[in-house]
Every structure is written in C-alpha cells, then in structure tokens.
Structure 1
C-alpha cells in the first residue's frame, strides 16, 4: 500500500519490535558472554590440572631416581609426543637448557611456581603454550607446558557462532517488526478511510470487521457502537427540531392572536383578562416543554452522575403517592403503593422523583376509571420500580416509538402535553444504567392499561 513503507518505522508496533529485539539482543549477549567466560575458565582449569598432573609425575620420578631418572622420563615423553602438543625443558640455575624441546628458557619465567602463557614457533606454526615451572632440589629448573590452541579455536568458533546467531536474530526481529507494522498500518488505514467517509456526512457507514476477533475488530466494534449512538442522537436531534418547530408554531400563533386581540382593547375587561390569561397558560405550556427538554439534556449529558448517592426508591415512591393520591381520588381512581423499604440504589433523587412523577401523571391522564398501582420490589439483586394502570394503554407496536421525543399517540394534539414525558423517563433510566420496559398492565381484570417498569440492576442496600 502506497505510503506504508516510509511510515512503518513510526508505528508503535515497529518501535516495540525494535525494543524487544534490543532487549533480546542484550540478554543474548549477556547469556553468551557468561557461557563464553565460564567455558574459557573451565578449559583453562582443565589445561592447568593436566599440566599439574604431568609436572607431579615428573617430580615423582625425580624423587625416585634423581636427575638421571628425570631425564629418562623427559626423553620418553618427548618420543611419545608426536604432535608436539607438549613442551619440556630442564635447565640449570642460569636458565641454560639441559634437556627438552625448547631452544631457550622463556624470558617471562624468571620466577618459578607461576603460570606462563607464551607463543612458541615450531614446525612452521605458532603454538600457544600454557606452562608451569618449578625449582628442583639440585638447583636445576623444570618447565612443563601444553598447547592450548584447540581450546582457543573452540572459543573462537563459539564466538563467531554467537555473533552470527545474534545478527540473524536482529535481522529476523527487524524483519518481523516491519511485516507486523505493515499489517497494522494496513488495518489502521482501513479504519482511517472509513472514518474519513463518515466525517464527510455518510453516517450510515460502519467500520469493517475482519472477523478475527483481534484488537482491531474489537476497536471497530466499539467504534460502530459509538456511531450507532451518534446516529441515533443526530436522528433524535433532527426529529426534535422538526417536532419542536411544529409544536411551538401552534401555541405561539395562538398567543400572538390572543395578545393582538387584547392589544386592540375591544371588549370588556373580563374578556381582555381572559385573552391574557389564555396567553399566559400557553406560555406556561411552552416553558414546561423547554424545562422538559433541559431535564432530558441533563440526564443524557451525564453531568448528573456527580450528584448521585444512595437513594431509597421506596421513599421516592411514597412522596409521589402522597402528592398524587388526592388527585387520583378526585378523578374517581384508586391508587395504591406496594412493596417495602430498603430498595436502595445509587442514583439522583431529584431525577428519579421527576421520572416517577411523569409516569404517575401519564397514568392519571389516560386512565378514566379503575386503578393505578406503584410497586417497588427487590428483584435479582436489583430494584424494580413500576407504575401500572387500567387506562387506554399503548399498542405493542407503538411502545418503542413513544420513548422518542415529541412523539404522541394523539396526532391531532387534542390532549394537552408535549410528548416528552416518557422520553424524559427513558433518558433518566439510561443515566442510571437501568432498563425501561413497557408491557400490558399486570393488574387483575385489566383488559387494557399499561405497565411501565424500570429495573435498576445495580441496587444496593
């Protein structure tokens, strides 16, 4: 893909790959270095022990038969050393050679009992010798050493193999990082292009999924969920704008008409007061609509979460029952509260109170006769709040739609209201991460009616 190659080294994946390769390389160098040092030390120790044993054998021969026996043993050793891997030198006190296969005493061996390392030219080759010298009781000096070139060649081979292995590891790591970065860039470019198309206004598009279930698929799924919510909110805003313009036009027209009549001054004072009173009533209805919109915005914005605390839903239900029971009785309706205290959740008390007020107000408005029940129960480690009535109910195919803003089942708008009651309750439920369910009324002998249930799964108490 064009443009990927120059950018691959800027990706997090490639940088992480380089970091991993660097750390692995450092670790490998440390491990191989430790192995090398341990191997070299072990080989030197073995060489030293071999030389010491050979020197002890010669000293034992010297003790048994003196200088003559020592010389015979050295001569025997020289005849048996066909490869020239050993050096033997018997010298006098002035370091002049007496017997051996070295032309002279090593210059650095001025003191006996110390390990020596020197190079010896022999058979057109250079031998690396490790030797030890001692002083004999007769004043002579004895030096014994062995060729350690095989050990050095082994260590050199090991170093070369380690370096080749390290180089191969670095190349594979860099190559793997490059390939992984290309793959990540390819997937990211797909997401970027999808986002660009969406930003140009096509909100129906979604991020493609490969189906691998990897982090990119999970990211795409999350983005798609976010886009679904954004599309829903934008559609809601468009619907709100249209419905708001429609619902505001009629009352504003009526207000303007009534105020114009009042402005003419025609008619008696009671008539003028009636016109102004009607305009005020319409204005109150408009204010109620705007207040409901502000409440929905507060609930959907999430800022109210900062004021959440433990709330007993039973106490909220009692307050609403005390407020609306006289109103229900005046309309010939029976209202009851069932459940019990201790139904505690983490929530916003004022918004919960407003949601329940809306539900009960709707129930009273659309119930001509019968009963209204408020129920608070603990259910599956959560809390359930429901309002049931025996009113006209809502058809099953309309229950999801009535949760949208400005949606009313009365197209002619003959019943006072703004179509925001249930949408406000739904927004408050979402704020509390609760589930709002609309069903047929569960009250006994209820042929019609509605039950609105809000289930709070995170109840505490």
Structure 2
C-alpha cells in the first residue's frame, strides 16, 4: 500500500511503544509543571509579603514624623502602580501599635496609627494576586499541550516512516510468496538496519531461487533420464508376457510389475509435461475454442466411471464461452477436474457442471479440500490428507494450474458445503 492506514497504526508495536513512552513523559511533565506553578505562586506571594512589609516600614516612619508626611507619601503611592491598596480613615481607637512587626499574606490588611484620630489601612489587592495566577495559566497549558502535540506528531511521523519501509519489505516478500521470480528489495544509501535487513532478505531470496531451480532441474533431469530405461524395461516385460511358457502365477506377477512400471512412467511423463508447461517450452496453438463443447467432450469420457459409482452428472451451458488457446490442453484441464470430482465423490453423489461466459464451474458433493490444503494442492506431488486413501500421484491439479496459467486464466477452489467447487475463470 502507498500509505499507512489507521489499522496499521493501531497494530504497530512501534507506535504503541512511542505513545506509551510519550504518555509517561507527559505525565511527568504535568507533575513538574504543576509543581512549578505552585512554587511560582508561592514565590510571588512571598515577594508581595516582603514588599508589603517594606511599605509598612515606610509608612510607620512617615507616621512618626507627621500626618502631612503620611498624606504626601500616600499621594505618591497612589499615583504609582502598586499591588497594594491604601485607606486613610478616621478612628477613635488609640491602642493601635506604633511599632513594626513582619506580616504574611494570611493577614488581609495592616493598620497604622496616624496622629490622634487617623489610621492607615494597607493590604494586598486580591486582584493583583488573581491576575498573576491568570497570567500563569497560558504558560502552564502551553508547557503541557505543546510538548504533547510535538510528541504525538513525532510518534506518528516516525511510525509512518518505519511502517513505510517495512511495507516495502512485506510487499516484496508477498511477491516472492506468490511465486514471482527475480524479486529485489531496494537498498538505500543510508546503510541503516533496514538496509541490512534488505540485504539479508535479498540474499535469502537468491538462495531460494537457486535451490528451487536446482531442485526443478534435478527432478526434470531425473524424470527425463529414467524415462528411457523404464520404457525399455516396459518393452522387455511385454516380450516376456508374450511368451507361452509362463505359468499363471508368473504371468500375474509380471503383469503387476508391468502395471506398476506403466504407472511410474506415466508419472514421469506428467512431471516432464508440467515442467515444460511452466517453463514455456511447449508452444500452444492459438485458436478460438467453445469451452462448453470441450467440457461436454470431457463429460462423455468420464461418464462411464461416474455411472459405475452411481453418480449423477448434470451439465448446463448458460451462455457461449469462447476462449483462445489449445484445445487438447484445455480438454485435459477440464477432464482432470472432472476426474478428481468423480474420484473424491462417494457413490450416489452428484456433480454439477456449468459453462458460462466466464468459464466452467464443477461442483461436487465429495470430501472437499480444507482451507489449509487449498493453498498447496496445485503443487506437484502434493496430496491432501483426505485424498491419500485414493489412488493418484498428486499431479492432476498441478497440470490444471499449469494449463490455466499458460492461457492467462485462473483456477479458484471454494467450498461447496459439502464438497468442492472448482472454477476455471477466463478473463477474455
């Protein structure tokens, strides 16, 4: 995919780890900022208390001089911007102290005796304290929200960057799993851990391709080299069977050997044919073919076997299906599918064949193929566990797959509940 979707992000361990780490950092950041806010507010209150004490000292000194000095100092203070308020009021109290003692902000105000009938009330303006707290709020929120936003964006950026590079690796490996050859993972000039991973995977892909090529060459060569001596051995067994001196037991034993040898020779011939089809060594004819007519011909060949098992074969052609290809190869592909359907469908079962504009569908009521085996049944010599009780060599579906690939078609295997539904799908 060319981008990272929500599902890829939510299942990414890198993204989860980064988010968890950033949440932890955010929690620590909130605790630290909250403590800084409290310390800053306490420091501000202490500063106000110190300034208030200085104000009281100053007014006490002026009160000891004269009432006029207090009034002049009061006018000067009011004309300036201070966080304190000053109220000069008349009073009959005469027990106000003239001495100074330190105060804190727990006391809302402080009274100073001025003359005989005046007192000066000094206190901290609550508005100044609240304004200072309000001025801290944007700083506190910016100290929390901004780092969180930066960390989340960073987590998304690094996660997307890592996932995109991993996606290139996954895409290349999916191509390898789908059977594509000569797949290479791009290696950048950064020489980081992803490039090292790409180098190792490229080397692994090359080794797998070499091993697969060697195995195919060995298998094909072995089948080719052994076919000739087996054919000679078959002729010699035929000559022996033509002799009249053999007893019945000898003739039966040699006939059994002859049948087994013919089965092995047929196996090798099928392996060679599949190898040639997959490698493109066979030149197929390009002619317009009515796939429905080819299917009918295959049904006529397999009908006696189905009748012997009391199976019901039904054929329906919905529309004309004309394809371009080799008639004999397509016949063998359809026949192999029909043969498998008859072989793995119990007596009294039914097999429905439908030809439409997309190809042919063969649906049986047999033992079917498990979802796991569906991924491997088209490999040569592979046999599902349920099919091992029947005679066969595991090359039927391999031949079908090779033929459909040669015709740019597709073989789809689905459950028929019960049984198997096989579809030969042609794009043209």
Global fold match (TM > 0.5): no
TM-score, scaled to structure 2: 0.45
